[in-house]
A and B are shown apart, each in its own frame.
Chain A
Amino acid sequence: MSSLARIQAQFHRQLLQGDSNVLTHIQSGGQITPAQRVSIYETGYFARLTEVLATDYKVLWMVLGDEEFSVLAKAYIIAKPSRYFSLRWFGQDFAQFLSEQEGEHANMLAQLARLEWAFVDAFNSADVTMLALEKIASVTPENWPTLRFKFHPSLQVVTHDWNVLSFWRAGREEQPFPELEHSQNSQKMLVWRKALTTQYRTLSIDEACALSAAVDGLNFSEICQVLVEQQMPDAELASIVIGWLQNWLAEGLICDIE
């Protein structure tokens, strides 16, 4: 190994694992010791990445407070060193990491983190040209059954059974946090970006089912069939699905049809 590679490997281990071999390479002299000099890098490393997490997971940070958030952030930084050239991606495994922690609220914290990350993702997702309304207006009735839909790349469905949306809203509005509540039925939420602004709303189980089928590339009649198999009454089914599609179009969720 070259001298350069060896210095880098040892400095790397110092920051990631606290291994102090790099000190043998550091010049002494001046007003501070080699160990103090190296510790400036160590402090900076954890402070910088903790700040990135606190920015991406602002409400989670508010819920936990500085101290508890910093402990979890440090554990994540040690467990998941960044393999990304941009800090934009560094926090993407934080929700999964939180879900693997012990503690009675781990699941709630993970769900809140997942919700916050959905907004980060939607904020940075690709721009697309939206579907011209004339294009869908020109679809003839006989072509409707085989119509497929292409969705905005920012679209995400987030599932939770803790009242994390109430926490998120309270955090964003700097209001007191609500009592923690757990629901027997999981809630689904849609997060996406319309033009430059991130959006969200809740989804019914049936609409979530139809949306999932449409995102998977099923055509209109196949989407209806999936809903029939989900025991949805079929009397008004086609008109209900058409109503959802109209909403998805108006909300900027559908960006093309084929």
Chain B
Amino acid sequence: MNKLLDENFLGFGLGLRSDYYQQIIDEKPAVDWFEILTENYLVDGGKPLYFLDKIRADYPMVMHGVSMSIGSTDPLDYTYLKQLKALAERVEPQWISDHLCWTGQNQVNLHDLMPLPYTREAINHVAARIREVQDFLGRQLVIENVSSYVTYREDEMTEWDFIGEVTKAADCHLLLDVNNVYVSARNHGFDPLDYISALPISAVRQLHLAGHTDYGSYVVDTHDQPVPDPVWDLAVKVFERFGAVPAMIERDDNMPAFSELMAELAHLRRIAKDTLLVAA
């Protein structure tokens, strides 16, 4: 609980989406910070950058990207990284995150978060690239676990061991998406508590909470629904293990009234507070 009162604790945030730009400026809602989708602001000018600057003047921000393709066997895209670095100089984010995945090969972008095989080879490959990006950006990177629908026959370990090994070898942080853990657990038949109880505590820098679409025999990470009860339940276990970690509601589609997101944010604060009070 002490850390929740710590003035350095970033608190609880929301993903910044264009649907709410004007409302945020007009109403200055009680959101501790916003996470921006990096690629939405890698444009030359116009409304996105105008609203970004206006909202940044009132709120701390973190940057979250989808295009680094840190696990791809293509060379790192320095055109992208230079633009990312320039945007970071403009935004001055608390940290920069992207996904532990690959998004394409041979310069073709699939615009999807493709899962990596959990192999020693992949750990070495990804960790070296994360280090290269960290050297270029001059800061530690935060990488997010993705949800997945396949695992590979080549796998040599579990996803949680793979993530732990990558964060250790790359000396980077982890953005733990609680929904993604739930989705992958359902799709691959593992216990999500095994996953979170194996992750290194000191690596976790941020949490995402989101919704999904349940098709019965599998679950798709759509991020277009309210956070469902099983994900809230898992979030309690996450706060119990990792303590006061900055957390946010991530909604990417089927955008609701802003008040609905604020209600989910209030629920998130309550869960974190109750859990951490008990744990203290």
List chain A positions with a Cβ less than 8 A from chain B. 2-5, 7-9, 11-12, 15-16, 24-27, 29-32, 34, 36-38, 40-41, 44-45, 48-49, 81-88, 90, 123-128, 153, 193, 196
Does B39 sit at the interface, judged by CB under 8 A?
Answer: yes
Known contacts A3-B117, A4-B119, A86-B39; is A153 also within 8 Å of B73 by CB?
no
Stretch touching chain A among B89-97, B151-159, B161-169, B255-263: B151-159
- Are A41 and B149 closer than 8 Å at their CB atoms? yes
Which listed residue (A9, A25, A27, A84) contacts B105, Cβ 8 A? A9
Q: How far is it, in angstroms, between the C-alpha of A41 and the C-alpha of B119 when the chains are bound?
A: 21
Q: How many contacts between A and B, using CB within 8 angstroms?
A: 132
Contact sample, A vs B, 25 pairs, CB 8 Å cutoff = A3-B119, A3-B121, A4-B71, A4-B122, A9-B105, A12-B110, A26-B151, A27-B150, A27-B153, A32-B217, A37-B150, A41-B112, A41-B114, A48-B112, A49-B111, A86-B67, A124-B44, A125-B45, A127-B45, A127-B46, A127-B49, A128-B45, A153-B44, A193-B46, A196-B50
B273 at the interface (CB under 8 A from A): no
Q: Is the interface of A mostly helix, strand, loop or mixed?
A: helix
- Expressed in whole angstroms, the minimum distance between the Cβ of B236 and any Cβ of chain A is 26
* Known contacts A30-B189, A125-B45; is-contact A12 B104 (Cβ 8 Å): yes
Q: Which residue of B lies closest to A12 (CB)?
A: B105
Given the known A-B contacts A38-B150, A126-B44, are A81 and B108 also in contact in the complex, defined by CB atoms under 8 Å? yes
Bound complex: CA of A4 vs CA of B121, how far in Å?
7
Any chain A CB within 8 A of the CB of B226?
Answer: no
Interface residues of B in 198-252 (CB under 8 A from A): 217-218, 220
Residue of B with least CB distance to A22: B150
Taking a contact as CB atoms under 8 Å apart, the answer to whether A26 and B117 are in contact is no
Q: Which 10 A-B pairs have the closest CB atoms?
A: A127-B45, A126-B44, A31-B217, A85-B67, A5-B73, A124-B43, A126-B45, A40-B149, A81-B108, A85-B80
| B275 CB-CB contact with A under 8 Å | no
A80, chain B: closest CB distance, angstroms: 10
Residues of A within 8 A of B42 (CB): 85-86, 88
Q: How many Å from the CB of A35 to the closest CB on chain B?
A: 10
